[in-house]
Structure 1
């Protein structure tokens, strides 16, 4: 495998006929295999004219406001090139048309990576922005991102990492957690209770199996009325129970503010005021606010983040050989942004 430099290199690509996963590998991305072919064609044409190595200033800007994420990957794509690189810090907010990344150097070294850079930033910023909306809805309460099941596994760690940058307190995806230097978070699935046939017996086995410092949160909507099951689990685990989780399916009305209020009240009446209520299942900012006001303490959020639209990113050439330039409709020259920091 070698880095694509021209159309001849594209012709030489041969894939393993036994390849089982269609997503690009790390090396394939770094070698330019996921770029749009017209950028490779551009290099060949400019080479024939002897101008592919002109020094350019390229700037990337978003089409709408959001939270910046993905720059570590974007930087890693370019870090071995002879380029000057500037960007916003990860987690920084931006406005539409604001310069979020600036690259200066030979156009040959930038051209083939435009597609890749824009894709990395567009997806990551979209996920981080959705997570920030959830963060604002949760206020000072915690939330974990549970979105991996909604996206292709090749990008699931990228998505959950971006959500953490956007404001999540934890991630359930193992690889995402390891990339962040934290431990993955999560409770138990309905399957564990269905196989055992009883919530309390699983809760007790869970309690006996986990280390002492583990926060025991038990799902209580599998078999019985949620309030009844919450009390059964609380009595069985006593002070070892950190919280209960509500994930009532839509077929039974989902998790509502009224349900949260009832479970909270019944736990309090029986002396379990310290038991937290963790909620999940189709949550979005407005619903998070309602459930929080009703007494929910923490949230598991999946599809609102994983299904967030990418934030369109555009790369423009703003200078060629130090001279301001732009296509029609754009103003020539750099769009300065004091928030940019030099990465290389």
Structure 2
């Protein structure tokens, strides 16, 4: 049964929800207008009464601060077949404060009610992309993996991890759906739970090697039971050339992953002929920590909370032209603000 679209205030009043397991909106509910702010629905009633619901307008979207643009693919899915033209930056492009990042031409009634949704797509995704890009820049060419799924609601985790790859520049993501949406395979080792249950890091490493396909990287956690440098050597001696890397995820209660720890692990691995073994670091990383750990010899960085907890870019949509006449509310400039970097997508 087709879901009824929200068009006017009476539709909202009559909306009845069935019991649900999870509280997130599904795709059909977003398309039907269930996640919009109520005042845009009331506006439709007002404009219909006035005969102005489908007046042609131009709307421009900008952010008050700089960032990396993302979220456009979802906006385009929302507005496809709505009879509008969409001009925007490409996902992954950096933007400046107040720069127009997206422009929509069309009848107000075709897209106005979706302002909440459009801004939400762009605000959240651009925030995640900006944080991911900061980490990627700090790593200076070394791989950065997004491990942020556990820090956000599972309904948006795939959105975040996909954005971290396609717009932020991360080389991998741990969330299965997020990685697949980005055209990549999910990446990650095993949790401490596996090592704790097996009861020994070397035994875990041998089992890991025995059950994984050959093409999968052998990267082993080495901070569960013993000193990280000691466990790194024990695992390296067991797997030899098969070992691709060791992962340091030392908790804050033990001082976290420090530059001195990374230097020691690197030194000891090199001394025993294991220079091919990479050092993967994770646990509370941010751009400053990435720079320090990279200088100390870390090769790969797993970033979770810094990307997941990124501040959304505060996006605003303004009507700038109505029925061919330039117009704007006080404090804004009437008429189109040209941006040659915009490209037509719809």
TM-score range (shorter-chain normalised) is over 0.9
Alignment deviations for residues 212-239 of structure 1 (CA, whole Å, 9 cap, x no partner): 1211000000000000000000000010
- Paired position in structure 1 for 2:94: 93
Normalising by structure 1, we get a TM-score of 0.99
Which secondary structure does the structure 2 equivalent of 1:328 belong to?
Answer: coil
- Paired position in structure 2 for 1:131: 132
Which secondary structure does the structure 2 equivalent of 1:277 belong to?
Answer: strand
- Paired position in structure 2 for 1:326: 328
Normalising by structure 2, we get a TM-score of 0.98
Which secondary structure does the structure 2 equivalent of 1:113 belong to?
Answer: helix
Query: 1: CA distance between counterparts of 2:85 and 2:242?
Result: 54
Alignment deviations for residues 42-84 of structure 1 (CA, whole Å, 9 cap, x no partner): 1101111111111000011011111011000011111120111
How many residue pairs get aligned? The number is: 343
1:196 paired with 2:203, answer no
Query: 1: CA distance between counterparts of 2:59 and 2:268?
Result: 60
- Paired position in structure 1 for 2:157: 156
Query: 2: CA distance between counterparts of 1:143 and 1:327?
Result: 43
- Paired position in structure 1 for 2:245: 243
- Paired position in structure 2 for 1:57: 58
- Paired position in structure 2 for 1:172: 174
Query: 2: CA distance between counterparts of 1:278 and 1:74?
Result: 36
Gaps of at least 5 residues in structure 1 are: none
Query: 2: CA distance between counterparts of 1:192 and 1:53?
Result: 59
- Paired position in structure 1 for 2:67: 66
- Paired position in structure 2 for 1:294: 296
- Paired position in structure 2 for 1:256: 258
- Paired position in structure 2 for 1:20: 21
Alignment deviations for residues 239-293 of structure 1 (CA, whole Å, 9 cap, x no partner): 0000000000000000000000000001111111111000000000001000000
- Paired position in structure 2 for 1:39: 40
Query: 1: CA distance between counterparts of 2:87 and 2:10?
Result: 32
CA RMSD of aligned residues (A): 0.7
Runs of at least 4 residues off by over 6 Å: none
- Paired position in structure 2 for 1:80: 81
Query: 2: CA distance between counterparts of 1:303 and 1:245?
Result: 18
1:222 paired with 2:224, answer yes
